[in-house]
Amino acid sequence: MEKISIIIPAYNEEKRIKETLDSNLKFFKTLKKNKILNFEIIAVINGSSDKTIEIVKELAKKNNELKYLNLKRGAKGYAVIEGFKEALKSDSNLIGFKDADMATSPEAFYELVKKINNYDGIIASRYVKDSIIAPKPTFERIFASRIFNFMIRIILGLQFKDTQCGAKLFRREVLERNIHKIISSQWNFDVALLFCLRKESNAIIKSIPTQWSDKIGSKINVKSASTRMFLSAIRLRVMHSPFKSFLRIYWNLIPESWKIQ
């Protein structure tokens, strides 16, 4: 029976972390009971100032499959990387992550498990045929996402239509080989992760349609986040080019609040 480690980064999620963890634990415990898939969930609390850690600790007392990390430092990228490192200490052969807002349901995440087959990784995509998004995203969000992904194709050569959907799954081996090369970033971690795995290991990563639900309480400002991710993508490309020496000049032009954390 395969085993999966599911990393859930959580920043100030006291209002919904219990529902998220309860839902995922219930679903994957059923699979485990039926000897379909073993699992562990690693909640990574990253720099939270609310009661997220207290809620997670109480749930962990009642669920052996739930682990947690309580990090002082913030940023999703750092949290996921630390989650990867923790998962690699276990015997899981599949390691993935999903957002804490339940935009991706346990059932939708399990589709990644069922369809990873012989690929090195598999990612959910909201912008391919047969994807279901509810409620329908605003024109602003769709436009910003399409433009960003178009620029990512040009700058980094990543041909995915959706790099930012918060549901991704990888085989253990590809993360083991590259964990020390993955860049921690607040604004383009998903892009940096995919770029690293493709560039360093020539990883074969599949994109599949998903069912995704936009949730109230999102902390992302579409316009500013898109700009920041775009600038971070340029930095990422320069880091892996003959022009690396000019990176310091470029980076000094970017506001401190926008930089990689």
Q: How confident is the model at residue 260 (pLDDT cuts 50, 70, 90)?
A: very low
Report how far apart, in Å, the C-alpha atoms of 169 and of each of 14, 51, 95, 124 are.
25, 28, 6, 9
pLDDT in tens, 2-32: 999 999 999 999 999 999 999 999 999 999 9
pLDDT in tens, 28-56: 999 999 999 999 999 999 989 999 999 99
* Residue 257 scores a pLDDT above 60: no
Q: DSSP string spanning 140-197? A: HHHHHHHHHHHHHHHHH----S-S--SEEEEEHHHHHHHTTTPPP-SSSHHHHHHHHH
Residue 254 confidence (pLDDT): 56
- Parent domain of 37: 3-258
| CATH at residue 229 | 3.90.550.10
pLDDT in tens, 56-101: 999 999 999 999 999 987 788 999 999 999 999 999 999 999 999 9
Report the amino acid identity of residue 201: S
Question: Tokens representing 256?
Answer: 């401190």
Residue 222 confidence (pLDDT): 53
Are 26 and 62 spatial neighbours (Cβ–Cβ below 8 Å)?
A: no
- Packing angle between helix 222-239 and helix 139-156, nearest 10 degrees? 0
Report the amino acid identity of residue 248: R
Where are the alpha helices (H) located in the chain, listed in sequence order? Answer: 17-33, 52-62, 76-87, 106-115, 139-156, 172-178, 189-201, 222-239, 247-252
- Packing angle between helix 189-201 and helix 76-87, nearest 10 degrees? 50
Are 27 and 117 spatial neighbours (Cβ–Cβ below 8 Å)?
A: no
- What number is the average pLDDT over the span 100-121? 96
Cα 95 to Cα 171: distance, rounded to the nearest angstrom = 6
Cα 248 to Cα 54: distance, rounded to the nearest angstrom = 41
Residue 261 confidence (pLDDT): 42
Q: Say which residues have a Cβ less than 8 Å from residue 238's Cβ, sequence separation at least 6.
A: 244, 246, 247, 250
Q: Compare 249 and 114 and report the one with higher pLDDT.
A: 114
Look at residue 117 and give its three-state secondary structure: coil
| Domains held by the chain: number | 1
- What number is the average pLDDT over the span 185-192? 77
Q: Compare 187 and 215 and report the one with higher pLDDT.
A: 215
pLDDT in tens, 199-244: 888 999 999 999 998 776 555 555 556 666 667 666 676 666 554 5
Q: Is the dihedral of CA 3, 171, 212, 115 positive or negative?
A: negative
Q: Which of 88-102, 129-143, 151-165, 210-224 has the lowest average pLDDT?
A: 210-224
* Residue 251 scores a pLDDT above 80: no
- CB-facing half-sphere around the CA of 117: CA atoms within 13 A: 7
Residue 50 confidence (pLDDT): 94
Cα 140 to Cα 134: distance, rounded to the nearest angstrom = 16
Q: Is residue 229 classed exposed, middle or buried when 0-12, 13-18 and 19+ CB atoms within 10 A define those classes?
A: buried
Cα 11 to Cα 80: distance, rounded to the nearest angstrom = 12
